[in-house]
A and B are shown apart, each in its own frame.
Chain A
Amino acid sequence: MALLEVEDLTVNFYTEEGVVTAVDDLSYRVERGEKFGIVGESGAGKSVTALSLMRLIENPGRIESGEIRFRGEDILEMSEAEVRSVRGNDMAMIFQDAQSALNPVYTVGEQIAEAIRHHLDYGDAAARERAIQLLDDVGIPEPEVRYSEYPHQFSGGMQQRVVIAMALSCDPEFLIADEPTTALDVTIEAKILDLIEDLAEEYDTAVQLITHDLGVIAELCDRVMVMYAGKPVEKASVEELYYDPKHPYTVGLMGSIPRVGEESDRLQTIPGTMPDLVELPSGCSFHPRCPYAEEACTRTEPGLVDPETARAADGVGADRGVACLEYTGDLEGGLDYEVDIRGGDPRADAGRGEGDD
């Protein structure tokens, strides 16, 4: 049994403009100690998924259906008190903007110690000691002095370290990192990612990393799910995703990563923007932006299928799945793109033709 199993999760937001389905029939699982990545543009439903896991969706949002099994227990069925004892204790979250994730009126040490006292029943002195130890673990120099300083006295990178220390304070089994490095500059980003990786290793914690940056995924994750407009469009291991992307959207995301030494003048982009979630396009929600879209795409909504066997792969257990009509044989023209791998990878030095002919 996996540590976390999400099955058919649907989350709606009831706004004045209409019902927004932020997460639509999503299933995935995270194994113990595994690092699982979720990629997508803004508004793809990544953060809503993360908040659903902790049952922190607020009005006007509502978890409509589905199951979130954490260690076999459905979080959505738990009482409020049970959920509270899971939050922070077994499942913790690292927030995107460390500056606003820290309460300005308390010292950072107090904020870390609070959860320790609350969940682990430590006394004041013991909690303080553990908090200082955590500050040390996340690489904050002079933790004893820094313990009694306020968030505004820390730099952005240091604040993010404090947020990580807060998340790790009760030694959770499952850590949700919601764009942990988006607010940081690139050199700090690498350090923070290393830190998360090391600590996940050290504390034997499973990590669900949410990001819009494929580079971050490559650095940290084992398996990846690409989301678009609330739906999963591709699930794969990191290697498969990078060397053998199957969905046009994934290919588009890959294509828009800038590369050093590239000859072209302009950065490639995916044309258009994410559709309005109130009025999703018919059929495949990606078809208005997809360069390979055909008439069939506007009519039929593709489900997640295994690209090799074309069998449905929308269950919790599926490791590889793509939601594109191509793989159910409904496309006439096929997908026409090439994956060009550079950088001396032994497995595929030369460019490799991809897609259907």
Chain B
Amino acid sequence: MLGLVVVGAMVLATVFARPITIQEIGVTVQPFSVAPYPPGDSLLFDTSTNVEDYAPPSLDPFHPMGTDGTARDVFSRVLYGGRFSISIGFIVVFATATIGVVYGSISGYYGGWVDEIMMRFLDVIFAFPGLVLALVIVAMLGKGYFQLLLAFTVFGWAGYARLIRGEILSIKQNEYVLAARALGARDRSVIFRHIVPNAIAPVIVQASLSVGTVVIGVAALGFLGLGFETTASEWGTMLNAEQGTLSPGPGGDIYWWVTVFPGLAIFLFVMSMNLIGDGINDALDAQEDTTVTQGGGG
């Protein structure tokens, strides 16, 4: 429940952080602006305030998380940065779960050599650590939002496929599957109307637990300097940009706020997602241990 509140608050904060405008037609869909400053602009050029770079957290002037090395407001950036991490997390999980369910259902339902070939292909995917595969794709396609989506989606569905295949193998033994076929249902409708709804519970649990894992994966790539352009306000990228501040020279100041707050955001979101996942697991009673890792799992 706590997890739900935190995730809900973070999603709302990130949506309302800055106005959303559809640029092609110039219509503002979401006019609110919780974040006090534009996340990408250095405040050195802002005449309304005279804040310096690496200003410590203060409420007046309103910089509750201080400013970073180019005098950008960290609070605004953390709020806005959720847009990348959280949306990638949810989109990737939705896409991978969908692909995985379709793939695994077909494999499990038809069985035989179809199953054999499809599962051996999965084994190939499983032979690589997910984050390495994501790295390869980002390295090939370059940085950016859609490249990251792709990087986590292309191989991330394997876990779901294997999970649901196992479920389907047992569900398809039920007589109602035979009954549906005896009533003249097509394979497609037998699989997706009669079998999958009965097999989906562990996938839902797995998916909710995976959102956090994907967010960590995105942040990890960002920290490695492979997620977004270095100026982007994505959480992991922010950590990467400011990692130099963690080891200042002799007598230097530790600007802890530029790294602690993005890190805290990642931690808070991922932990809350895991709490939600556990809650769903208990609710669905899906006795599933969560050893199947999402591709890109940190």
Measured between alpha carbons, how far is A40 from B30 in the docked complex, in Å? 72
A100 contacts B182, C-beta separation under 8 Å: no
User: A32 near B: Cβ within 8 Å?
Assistant: no
* Smallest Cβ-Cβ distance to A50: which chain B residue: B182
| B180 interface neighbour in A51, A54, A89, A103, Cβ under 8 Å | A103
Measured between alpha carbons, how far is A51 from B181 in the docked complex, in Å? 11
The stretch among A114-122, A194-202, A212-220, A247-255 that forms the contact with chain B is A114-122
A56 contacts B182, C-beta separation under 8 Å: yes
**Chain A residues in 8 Å Cβ range of B247:** none
Mark out the residues of chain B between 147 and 190 whose CB falls within 8 Å of any chain A CB in the assembled complex: 174-176, 178-186
A93 contacts B179, C-beta separation under 8 Å: yes
**Chain B residues in 8 Å Cβ range of A96:** 175
**Chain A residues in 8 Å Cβ range of B180:** 103
User: A166 near B: Cβ within 8 Å?
Assistant: yes
**Chain B residues in 8 Å Cβ range of A267:** none
| A88 interface neighbour in B111, B184, B193, Cβ under 8 Å | B184
Given contacts A59-B111, A104-B198, contact A95 B179 (CB under 8 A): yes
Given contacts A59-B111, A101-B175, A103-B176, contact A93 B184 (CB under 8 A): no
User: B112 near A: Cβ within 8 Å?
Assistant: yes
Measured between alpha carbons, how far is A100 from B184 in the docked complex, in Å? 18
Measured between alpha carbons, how far is A169 from B111 in the docked complex, in Å? 31
Contact with B along A244-271 (1 / 0, CB 8 A): 0000000000000000000000000000
Contact with B along A88-119 (1 / 0, CB 8 A): 11001101110011111100000000110011
**Chain B residues in 8 Å Cβ range of A86:** 184
B198 contacts A59, C-beta separation under 8 Å: no
User: A131 near B: Cβ within 8 Å?
Assistant: no
* Smallest Cβ-Cβ distance to B196: which chain A residue: A105
**Chain B residues in 8 Å Cβ range of A104:** 176, 198
B175 contacts A84, C-beta separation under 8 Å: no
Measured between alpha carbons, how far is A315 from B250 in the docked complex, in Å? 102
B185 contacts A101, C-beta separation under 8 Å: no
User: B26 near A: Cβ within 8 Å?
Assistant: no
The count of residues in chain A whose C-beta lies closer than 8 Å to any C-beta of chain B is 28
A16 to chain B, nearest CB (A): 14
B112 contacts A59, C-beta separation under 8 Å: yes
Measured between alpha carbons, how far is A114 from B179 in the docked complex, in Å? 12
Measured between alpha carbons, how far is A88 from B189 in the docked complex, in Å? 15
B175 contacts A105, C-beta separation under 8 Å: no
Highest count of chain B CB atoms <10 Å: which of A51, A85, A100, A169: A100
| B178 interface neighbour in A59, A92, A95, A119, Cβ under 8 Å | A95
A310 to chain B, nearest CB (A): 40
B175 contacts A115, C-beta separation under 8 Å: no
Measured between alpha carbons, how far is A36 from B181 in the docked complex, in Å? 23
A101 contacts B179, C-beta separation under 8 Å: yes
User: A87 near B: Cβ within 8 Å?
Assistant: yes
User: B252 near A: Cβ within 8 Å?
Assistant: no
* Smallest Cβ-Cβ distance to B173: which chain A residue: A100
**Which A residues have a C-beta under 8 Å from some C-beta of B?**
51, 54, 56, 59, 84-89, 92-93, 95-97, 100-105, 114-115, 118-119, 163, 166, 169
* 27 pairs, A vs B, C-beta closer than 8 Å: A56-B178, A56-B181, A56-B182, A84-B184, A84-B185, A84-B186, A87-B182, A87-B183, A92-B183, A93-B179, A95-B179, A97-B175, A100-B175, A101-B175, A101-B179, A102-B176, A103-B180, A103-B197, A105-B197, A105-B198, A114-B183, A114-B185, A115-B185, A118-B183, A118-B184, A119-B184, A166-B179
**Which B residues have a C-beta under 8 Å from some C-beta of A?**
111-112, 174-176, 178-186, 193-194, 197-198
**Seed contacts A88-B185, A114-B185; 19 additional CB < 8 Å A-B pairs:** A59-B112, A84-B185, A85-B184, A86-B184, A87-B184, A89-B184, A92-B183, A95-B178, A95-B179, A96-B175, A100-B175, A102-B179, A103-B179, A103-B180, A103-B198, A115-B183, A115-B184, A166-B179, A169-B183
